Amino acid sequence: AQSVAQPEDQVNVAEGNPLTVKCTYSVSGNPYLFWYVQYPNRGLQFLLKYITGDNLVKGSYGFEAEFNKSQTSFHLKKPSALVSDSALYFCAVRDSLGSARQLTFGSGTQLTVLP
Amino acid sequence: NAGVTQTPKFRVLKTGQSMTLLCAQDMNHEYMYWYRQDPGMGLRLIHYSVGEGTTAKGEVPDGYNVSRLKKQNFLLGLESAAPSQTSVYFCASSYGPGGRTEAFFGQGTRLTVV
């Protein structure tokens, strides 16, 4: 079975400081990992994904994520946070093995960037 | 660039009433999904479709039915609404399986069952 955990419901960071939103996963095979962002009253928007290759993945709006197989983690990072980055962030995973054709989403982390 | 469009955006139902949520995508995607979003629980998959004429159950299918008669449309039906179905519903579509290609989401339907 595939699962994903976002251990922090809420992350607060000052504008201009680096931010990290944590994600850990569990799969039987290799993971396909995604980050999505949700702004108020909107649907989810794709940020970045890891399928294979370099462990550091760069995505939209200056975000990046680091795949760490030994720690089964895929943390989202940004060197300098903006107030406009405040939103709800979701990590998602799919196992390369098994019959599941859909993603499993984490419970979400609310990021607040303080001016 | 319409992308994924959901209709309606808001609805209030009485317990026992029925309704259909419509999802339309204009990207020629094969895969379509219906999720529900509840506070602290993330998104949970209700049903999905891997192509026209096909449907499959997701994580929380009870109380819902779906149909995909046309490739661009994916309908979610509630036959007899219950308060536990109060939620925000999202439709999504993707070119390939939801694990190698990114999904595109609609803006959501906020449903309240009283």
Strand-pair category, A104-105 with A87-95: antiparallel
Q: Does A56 touch chain B (CB under 8 A)?
A: no
Rounded CA separation B21/A115 (Å) = 39
d(CA B104, CA B6): 12
- Residue-wise pLDDT for A11-35, tens only, equals 999 999 999 999 999 988 889 999 9
Q: Which residues from chain A sit within 8 angstroms of residue B31, using beta carbons?
A: 101
Instruction: Select the residue from A103, A104, A107, A110 to test the B interface by mutation, using most B Cβ atoms within 10 A.
Output: A103
What pLDDT does B102 receive?
85
pLDDT of amino acid B98: 59
Amino acid found at A98: G
Per-residue confidence (pLDDT) for residue A30, from 0 to 100: 87
Inter-residue contact B34 to B23 (CB < 8 Å): yes
Residue A82 pairs with which residues in a beta bridge?
none
Task: Give B79's Cβ-side CA count (13 Å radius).
Answer: 6
User: Which residue in B has a C-alpha nearest to residue A47's C-alpha?
Assistant: B102
Chain B interface, best mutation among A101, A105, A109, by max B CB count within 10 A: A101
Q: Does A83 touch chain B (CB under 8 A)?
A: no
Confidence at residue A52, expressed as pLDDT on a 0 to 100 scale: 85
Give pLDDT < 70 ranges for chain A.
98-101
Best of B54, B105, B107, B109 to disrupt the A interface (most A CBs within 10 Å) is: B105
A42 closest CB neighbour out of B41, B50, B107: B107
Could you tell me which of A75, A52, A50, A77 has the C-alpha nearest to residue A62?
Answer: A77
Q: pLDDT averaged over consecutive 10-residue blocks of chain B (114 residues)?
A: 89 97 95 91 90 93 96 96 96 79 90 97
Dmax over CA atoms of chain A, in Å, equals 45
- CB-CB: which of A49, A51, A108 is closest to B42? A108
